[in-house]
Amino acid sequence: MTYKIGQIIEGKVTGIQPYGAFISLDEQTQGLIHVSEIQSGYTKNINDVIKIGEDVKVQVIDIDEYSQKISLSRRTLEKNYTPNRIRRKRYFTNKNKKIGFDSIEKELPKWIDEALTRLHHANARK
């Protein structure tokens, strides 16, 4: 059978790896659902979503012309989109200390003096 991008087909899960699930489309053809295409949102463990031997409905999202590898998706067939959970913003410093640019402001005159001294010595050598 010849597959086309956008085609929706039934397949059987034949293997699961941390990066995705292998789906048998027919006797000779297998495709891969990448972990990001298993479902919308974040998938921590593929085994929690699908099982080996399970029949799944998938959509062909890409076919590599050179290697004939077929990329599949379950996520594109979902009616309701589940966005990734909101991640908290991470700070390099403690945001409660309200330091801001004060530390740079205090050090800047010293850095300028050091740079001018180096330039003066470099010019003196010439």
Q: Specify the pLDDT at position 7.
A: 93
**pLDDT 10s per residue in the chain (126 long)?**
689 999 999 999 999 999 999 999 998 899 999 999 998 888 889 999 999 999 999 999 999 988 889 999 999 888 876 665 666 767 666 667 666 667 788 888 999 999 999 999 888 887
Q: What is the torsional sign of CA 36, 41, 42, 43? A: negative
Q: Specify the pLDDT at position 104.
A: 80
Q: Specify the pLDDT at position 6.
A: 92
- Residue found by looking up tokens 């004060």 in the block: 102
Strands of the chain, DSSP E: 8-17, 20-24, 30-34, 55-63, 70-73
